[in-house]
Amino acid sequence: MTVSASDAEATLRFVVPGFVALKVFYVFGLKTRRTDLEWMLWSLLGAAVVDAAVGLLNPPDANVRLFVALTLALLSGGIGVAVWRAVVKRWPARRMGASRRAWDAILPVPQWIQVWTKSETLILGHARVVASSVECDQLDLYLEEPQWVSAPTGERLPMPGVTGLLICESEVKMIQVLGNGERTDAET
């Protein structure tokens, strides 16, 4: 059995919109990682839904059909993101259940945290950039306004000339979340 270029083109025109819708949802909404098999299966399911919706509109030719399908895929992915964000805002435990790792659930927004490293160093900082486990396996944590903290006394010592500190996940022993937003008087 020989597959022609037009067969391959028709298959891609069918599958790509489903993949686009899922990619938008997973990267900007759910933020979890999928295997290649899961991507393929969910893309086929998404493609079937998008194709059915495009079929109702009955575009005049294949190029217009592809444009409409991609537009619907982007819109449905964006709507999925908005719905997911509303769900996790209302029920935060949903994010934890869907997250690949705990800090994907705990640190989706910048927060003041204390980090205990494996070398028993205690560092306070504002987590501005937290790598997502959808992006990589070995996560890094970036702290702005880092300060050394004396574990016995709690005294905070600034790090002169340091505006940020990057800590590898493999060096983190424990993270204490102090809160989001601005530092309170109790935290200064």
pLDDT at 188: 42
pLDDT computed for residue 136 by the predictor: 60
What is the DSSP track for 75-95?
HHHHHHHHHHHHHHHH-THHH
One DSSP character per residue, 97-139 reads HH-SSHHHHH-SS-EEEEEEETTS-EEEEEEEEE--TTT-SS-
DSSP tag of 61: S
| pLDDT tens sequence across 39-61 | 888 888 888 899 899 889 888 88
| pLDDT value, residue 133 | 55
pLDDT at 185: 41
Give the whole-angstrom CA distance, residue 74 versus residue 60.
Answer: 21
Stated as kind and residue range, the H or E segment containing 146 is strand 140-149
- Domain residue spans in the chain? 5-98, 102-187
At a CB cut-off of 8 Å and minimum separation 6, what does 177 contact? 106, 107, 111, 112, 113
Q: What is the pLDDT of residue 187?
A: 44
Distance of alpha carbon 20 from alpha carbon 34, whole angstroms: 14
Alpha-carbon span 75 to 14, nearest angstrom: 17
CATH number of 102-187: 2.30.30.100
- pTM for this model (two decimals): 0.57
- Number of C-beta neighbours around residue 61 at 10 A: 8
Rounded-to-integer distance, Cα 127 and Cα 164, Å: 10
pLDDT beneath 70, residues of the chain: 96-109, 129-138, 179-188
